Amino acid sequence: MVLLLIGFMVLVCTAFWLWRHHLQKISVRFLPNAHGAEEVVLLLCMDPHSGGLERCVLAQHHEFIKAGVCSILVTPHNAFILPVALRAQLPVVTYHPTLVSSDAWVWCPGLRAALDFLIKQYGQRLLVVHSNSPRETFVARDALRGLDVPLVFSRHSVGYIRPSLRSTPDALIAVSPAIAEELEAANKRDGIKQQVAVLPPFFDTDRIESFEPTQDRATFFKQTFGVTLKTCPLLVKVAHLYADLAHKNHPLVLEAMHELIYRRNIPVQIALAGAGPSEALLRRLVREKGLDGYVHFLGATEQTPAVFHYADVALLAGRKEAFGMALAEGGLMKKPTIIADTAGAAGWLIEDGVTGYLFRADEASSLADRIAFILQHPTEATACGARLRDRVLNDFGPATTARRMMVFYRQLHDSVKTIA
C-alpha cells in the first residue's frame, strides 16, 4: 500500500513537472542581437483576438522597427497578430497562453518565462515594458520587481478600472482625451498619484497608402467575399463583433438602415468587416428587419484598405468608442466619416462638419440623418473626407505618435531611474 502511494505521488509530481515545463516553453523569432541595442522596448499583447487593440500593438511594433527602435513583441502562440508579425519578420517572443487570475493575482507561467528570458538577455538596456492588458500588467510588475525599468499600461477602452490596476504601472497611456479624463478623475477620487499621458493609437498606414485598386467594386466583393452588392451607396463599418452588442452598437446601425430604406426611401447597404461571437445574433436581426441583401458580413479580413476604398461612407456607432483606429484608416482613404458624439475621437480627430460628422449617441434617427446628409451633399462630404486625411497625416500619423511615444518612454525611464 505504501509503495502504491509513493508511486502515485511520484506519478503526480512527474506529471506536474512536465505540465509546468510545457507551459513555460517559449519561442523566439527574429530577436535582435543582445549586445547591439542600447534601448529595448517590450510590447506585450496577451489578447489573442483580432480587434483594434491587437492591431494597434502590431502597428506600433512595426512603426518602431521602421524608426530603428529595438522593439520586441511578446504575445501568446495563438495570437491573431502572430502570423502577420512573422510574415513581416518582426522580432517576436511567444509563450503558452494558459493563465489563472483573481483580481491582482495572475498566474501565467508562459508570459513570466518570456519576460524572465528577455530581462536576462537585455537587462538594464530595457527602456520600458509596455502592457496592453490588465492581467499581463500584473505579471510584468512581478517580473520587473527590483529593476529600475518602467512599466507602462495603455488603456484602449472606456469604463471603470479598479485601483489595483491603475496603481500598478509607473504610468498610464490613454488613447483619447476622454479616457485620460476618466482615469485622472478615478485616480483623484482614490488618492492615486499616477501620470496619465494622451497618445492616439497606432495604425498601419503602409498597407492603406500602398493600396491600388485593380477591380471594380462589384467584382472585388464578389471574388473576395462572395458578396453580391446592390447598386445603392455602400457604407462600411470595421469593428469586431463583440458579445456585448452595446460595445460597437451594430444593432443601432441596422435600425438606422431600416429607417432609411423603408421610411425615407433611401436605399443603402453596408459591409461589416469583423468577426466575433455576436454574428449569429446580428444575422437574425438582419432577417427580422428585412435587411437581407443590404448587410454583408465579411468576417475578419486583411482587405480593409480595399473595403474602405470602395465604400461611400465610413462609420462607427459605439457610444463609448475609445478612439476607433478604423477612423484613421478610413480617413487616409478620404472617406466621409460618421461617429457618435460621445466617442473618444469626437471633437479631437472628428470635428463635426469639418473632418467628419457626429450623430447623437444611441439615436438611430440621428445616425440616419447623417447618412442621408452625406449622400445628398456629396461635394461637401468629399471635402470633409479630404480634410480628415490631412488631419490624420498631420496630427495622428504613426510616425508622429512613435516619436512622441519614445520621448515619453525616455522621460519616464529617467524619472524611474532617479527614484531608484
Choice between 19 and 234, residue whose per-residue pLDDT is larger: 234
Residue 122's Cβ-side half-sphere holds a number of Cα atoms within 13 Å equal to 25
> What domains lie within the chain, and their CATH numbers?
28-203+399-419 (3.40.50.2000), 210-396 (3.40.50.2000)
What is the per-residue pLDDT across 106-138, written as a single tens digit (0 to 9) for each? 999 999 999 999 999 998 899 999 999 999 999
Residue in this structure with the C-alpha cell 497606432, named with its chain if needed:
202
The answer to whether 396 and 200 are in contact (CB under 8 A) is yes
Rg (CA), the chain: 23
The confidence band for 320, taking pLDDT boundaries of 50, 70 and 90, is: confident
The answer to whether 71 and 61 are in contact (CB under 8 A) is yes
What is the per-residue pLDDT across 71-95, written as a single tens digit (0 to 9) for each? 999 999 999 899 999 999 999 999 9
pLDDT at 420 exceeding the cut of 60 = no
The model carries a pTM of 0.85
CB neighbour class for 235 (10 Å; exposed up to 12, middle 13-18, buried from 19): buried
The reported pLDDT for the residue numbered 219 is: 97
What is the per-residue pLDDT across 25-68, written as a single tens digit (0 to 9) for each? 899 999 887 666 789 999 999 988 777 889 899 999 999 999 99
